[in-house]
Each structure stands twice: as structure tokens, then as C-alpha cells.
Amino acid sequence: MKKIILFALSLFVYMFLQSCGETEKPADPNKDNYKFLYIALDTTGNSKLIEYGLEKAKADFPNVTFTAKYPTQSANVQEQIAFVQQAVTEGYGGIITVPASESLLTDDFTEALKKHVPVVIIENPTNYSDYVAKIATDNYETGRTYADYLLTIYNNTGKIAILSDDSKNKNNASRIDGFVGKIGASNFQGSFVSPNIYHANNYQSALTKITTIINNNPTLAVIYATNGIGTLAAATALKAKNKTDVIVLGYDNNPDNVNLLTNGDIKALCVTSPVNMGYSAIQQLINYKKGSSVTRIVTPPTWIITKENINSTDSQNALYPKGK
């Protein structure tokens, strides 16, 4: 009799524990909410092109609506934090953002997710790990690809100067590391100007510093500028010195830089995919809300555009994503 009682008691405990384990999680009250908030990093062309990608996705997914919020100051963390909090209080179903800080938005992203407002990260690094998806350029590989290109057109004894945004900018650092690593592993005959030149994304600073480098390095052969402002400053400084024999490798398809490429003032321009990023952000948020498969790491394509390939369909689409 005791054995029967013990068995019955054990069975009861087992069934109780099983029923506790099978308790369903509360349904997401926001799962059918396709109203998204896009929090831009700044007001530059790339930020606008991300929004254009969102617009294209909205046209393909009729249930989607979104609002775009632009900061009054570039990369303003406090404004972005306020926008994240606004997304929660105003009932948005998701956030799409290029974070202005690697760490300072993490707590607010975490709180947003607790209120069923998931986050998609575009381009910039973040310590926040619970994002729906991160959509970012492989900047290290882009730097390596640029090095491969340079080695096909130049392998003499001249110097290479690196002109970059900020030593703490991880995207630019990856572009440098990939480029320098690939050059260093090759049989390149030249050398690098040391140290690298940083301009904190300030055009006048970039122009002044690269002009000094040009004046002090008569064997300068290449300027590798890792963002749009540095590209424009390098080309402008060389034109002022009437130096047409220095190769400029640049980034970003803003109108000034596209004109420089078309006119032959720079040798190549690396163009990323902000429209693709915006479109992909909407796609991944929709998949997440539907419970479909989500691609957590999305790497959009990049293009290195030269005068030789500028008229190809891919190059034209990359340079003019909205059309001419």
C-alpha cells in the first residue's frame, strides 16, 4: 500500500512539474504592430538613402508604416536615447537605427525590448546583443579589396598616406586594418606615411592635415581616404597643388565625390548599400514579428567604382540609387 501511495505521489509531482514547464509564454501584444521608428545617425546622404530603402520596403509591404527621426546634431547620443524612449511611449512596433554609441544606448534598447519594441541595428557597432538583426558593411573585407585593386595599378616605391575619420571609429579602423594588412602581406615596394592622419570628420581639419602631408612627402603616391569628407579634402588639396600623379582611393557616393570620380580627380570610389540596408531592416523586422526565419547578420554588397567600370549597370545603380 505504501508503494502505491508513493508512486501516486511521485506521479502527481511529475505531472505538476511537467504542466509548469509547458506553460506558454505570454503572447507578444505588439506582434501585429508594423509601425516602425527610424532613428537616423545624422542628416547626411547615407542616412537619407537608408530612409529611401525603408520607403521602398514600405511600398512592397503594405502593412508597414514608419516615421523617420533625425538628430539636430550629428551622432547625438542623448537625442537618440530620447527617440528610443519615444518609440516605447508612442506605441511603435519596432526601431531601426544607426547607433551613435557602442554602449550608451544598450540600457534603452533593453527596456524597449521588454515593452515588445525590438531593435534592428544598421552599420555601426553596438554592445547590445538582443537585436533582431544587424545590417552592416564588412569594412575589413572592403579594405582588403581596395588593397587588391591598388596592387593591380601601382607597385612602385612611393608612399601611401591614410586619411581617416577618428582613431576610435571602428568602421574606419576596420577599413584601415584590412587595407594595411593586405598591403603588408604583399610584395609592395613602397611604404606608409606614419602616423595615420585623423580629422574627426571635419572637412577643414582634413584639408589642412592632408595639405601638410602633401607638402612634406614629395614621394607621396597614394592617399587612402576612408570616408567621404576625407576623400573630398584629399582631392581638393591635390588640385590646389596641381598634383595629378597621386592616386586617391575614396569612399561614399555623395554628389561631390561622384563628380570627382567622373572628372578623374580620384581614381576609385568605394560605395556601400544604404538603400539595401533600409530595405533589409524592414524585411527582418517583418520576419521577426511573423515568427519566420530571421537573418541576424546581414552583409550588404559594396562596389569599388573606377572610370573603367563606372558605366556598368551595377556601378550606375550604386552611384545613383534613386536614379539620375
Is it the case that residue 23 has pLDDT exceeding 70? Answer: no
Q: What is the tens place of the pLDDT at every residue in 96-143?
A: 999 999 999 999 999 999 999 999 999 999 999 999 999 999 999 999
Phi and psi, residue 266, nearest 5°: -125, 155
The fraction of the chain above a pLDDT of 70, given in percent, is 92
Provide the total of helices (H) and of strands (E) in the chain, helices listed first.
11, 13
Is it the case that residue 1 has pLDDT exceeding 70? Answer: no
Q: Tell me the domains of the chain and their CATH numbers.
A: 35-137+274-300 (3.40.50.2300), 139-271 (3.40.50.2300)
Q: What is the tens place of the pLDDT at every residue in 209-235?
A: 999 999 999 999 999 999 999 999 999
The model's pTM is: 0.87
Q: What is the tens place of the pLDDT at every residue in 64-83?
A: 999 999 999 989 999 999 99
pLDDT recorded at residue 24:
46
Residue 221: count other Cβ atoms within 10 Å of its Cβ.
17
Confidence of residue 27 (pLDDT cuts 50, 70, 90): low
**Is the torsion defined by CA of 215, 149, 144, 41 positive or negative?**
positive
If you average pLDDT over every residue of the chain, what do you get? 91
Q: What is the DSSP letter of 100?
A: S
Q: Name 269's bridge partners.
A: 250, 305
Residue 270: count other Cβ atoms within 10 Å of its Cβ.
26
pLDDT recorded at residue 13:
39
